Amino acid sequence: MEDDQDSAELRVRLARLQLEHDDYHTAIEAMVAQNCDPLKVQRMKKKKLRLKDEIIKLSSHVIPDITA
């Protein structure tokens, strides 16, 4: 039962991170369209990339490796 709860919590966290990643994507596109400071855009891209890395790490825990 605890494994199910842990898995559910991981899935919720993963969904939140994916939403946040999508928000960063939208914000970056808007910043680029408005010719914002390239340094600010670069910082946003780095944050988005860190989120993606975290999403990939969490995904490996939520979605089992089928090649085994």
**pTM of this structure:** 0.81
Instruction: Decide: 37 and 50 in contact? Cβ < 8 Å.
Output: no
What does the pLDDT look like over 21-57, one tens digit per residue? 999 999 999 999 999 999 999 999 999 999 999 999 9
Distance in angstroms (rounded) separating the CA atoms of residues 44 and 41: 5
Domain ranges of the chain: 2-62
Distance in angstroms (rounded) separating the CA atoms of residues 63 and 34: 38
Instruction: Decide: 2 and 54 in contact? Cβ < 8 Å.
Output: no
